[in-house]
């Protein structure tokens, strides 16, 4: 029965990883250390002292880098595959009651997909902000992404079903926007 809650928790944490890679990993580490969540046996390292320090340090570096206008766009290039990997890890870590084949398939498809979609959307928003504001508006975008990652990570642990509903709504909205944009850019033969 716990897998019913593990999947929404993992989906929300994965999506949060698309906004800020290390926020959900740090939140997961703290929750595991405090006994609030049970990690998949192969993922217990996430709750270790070394992981906690590494995630906290990486989060400070990541957040700081996103406030440097030219560096934030460069970081997005690196962050997209890393966020996808973090999404996979987050989903796999919080679904200990699933058989390994189902856990990893779900982690790759849903966790990695949600993180990747959130990261690509955030990167495109940052590029648009850079183009419209010459980078001065990027700090607002960075702050919103950080806030979203924190709220979504905490909501994942405190109200997983609500978090999953919010994530599904957000992802559906992002996909709908992307398909509309693609349709509006199609050239009709004339």
Asked whether the beta carbons of 66 and 72 are under 8 A apart, the reply is yes
Asked whether the beta carbons of 125 and 26 are under 8 A apart, the reply is no
User: Residue 116: which H helix or E strand, with range?
Assistant: helix 113-133
Q: How far is CA 169 from the centre of its chain?
A: 15
pLDDT value of residue 1 = 41
Question: Where do the domains of the chain lie?
Answer: 3-181
pLDDT value of residue 188 = 53
What is the per-residue pLDDT across 67-126, written as a single tens digit (0 to 9) for each?
Answer: 887 787 788 888 889 999 999 999 999 999 899 999 999 999 999 999 999 999 888 888
- Angstrom CA distances, 1 to 5, 14, 44, 130, stand at 8, 21, 21, 46
Return all residues near 163 (Cβ < 8 A) that are at least 6 apart.
8, 9, 11, 12, 152, 155, 156
Cα angle 97, 98, 101; round to 5: 150
| Arithmetic mean of pLDDT, 160-187 | 81
What is the per-residue pLDDT across 123-141, written as a single tens digit (0 to 9) for each?
Answer: 888 888 888 888 788 888 8
pTM: 0.89
């Amino acid at each position: 029965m716990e897998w019913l809650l593990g999947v929404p928790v993992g989906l929300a944490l994965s999506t949060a990883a698309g906004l800020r890679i290390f926020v959900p990993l740090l939140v997961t580490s703290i929750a595991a250390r405090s006994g609030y969540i049970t990690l998949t046996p192969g993922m217990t390292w996430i709750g270790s002292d070394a992981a906690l320090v590494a995630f906290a340090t990486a989060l400070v570096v990541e957040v700081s880098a996103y406030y440097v206008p030219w560096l934030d766009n460069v970081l997005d290039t690196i962050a997209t595959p890393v966020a996808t990997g973090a999404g996979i890890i987050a989903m796999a870590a919080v679904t200990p009651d699933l058989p390994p084949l189902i856990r990893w398939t779900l982690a790759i498809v849903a966790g990695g997909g949600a993180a990747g979609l959130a990261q690509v959307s955030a990167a495109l928003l940052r590029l648009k902000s850079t183009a419209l504001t010459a980078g001065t508006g990027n700090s607002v975008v960075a702050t919103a992404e950080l806030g979203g990652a924190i709220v979504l990570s905490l909501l994942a642990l405190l109200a997983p079903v609500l978090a999953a509903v919010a994530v599904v709504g957000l992802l559906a909205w992002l996909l709908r926007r992307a398909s509309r944009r693609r349709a509006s850019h199609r050239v009709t033969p004339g």
